């Protein structure tokens, strides 16, 4: 299954996470404004939309 993975070292912790905004299943969220965004893998189906919009290129699609 393809899943999105956010590299926490590359994530800019954007106030408004554009990747979260485009995700069709709301699989990306931030638990805390100062923390990197995370992916709820159960909700992600690997479409890659988030990869396109992340300004830091912090997201990769992996076979997980
Ligand atoms: S858009 Fe990218 S860099 Fe910004 S919070 Fe979301 S995952 Fe992190
Ligand atoms: S790959 Fe698609 S479903 Fe998964 S987090 Fe990114 S936008 Fe959402």
Which numbered ligand comes closest to the C-alpha of 19? 1
**pLDDT one-digit tens code per residue, 3-61:** 999 999 999 999 999 999 999 999 999 999 999 999 999 999 999 999 999 999 999 99
Q: Model-level pTM?
A: 0.95
What CA–CA distance (Å, rounded) separates 1 from 36? 23
Distances (CA, A) of 4 to 13, 29, 34, 51, 61: 17, 12, 20, 8, 4
2-63, CATH topology level: Alpha-Beta Plaits (3.30.70)
Q: Which atom of ligand 2 is nearest to the CA of 59?
A: 6
Q: Provide the residue ranges of all domains of the chain, joining segments of one domain with +.
A: 2-63
In this prediction, residue 64 carries a pLDDT of 76
Distance from the CA of 61 to the center of ligand 2, in angstroms?
9
């Amino acid at each position: 299954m393809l899943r999105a993975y956010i590299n926490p070292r590359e994530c800019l912790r954007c106030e408004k996470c554009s990747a979260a905004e485009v995700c069709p299943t709301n699989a990306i969220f931030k638990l805390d404004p100062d923390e990197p965004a995370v992916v709820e893998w159960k909700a992600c189906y690997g479409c890659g939309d988030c990869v396109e919009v992340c300004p830091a290129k912090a997201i990769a699609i992996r076979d997980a």
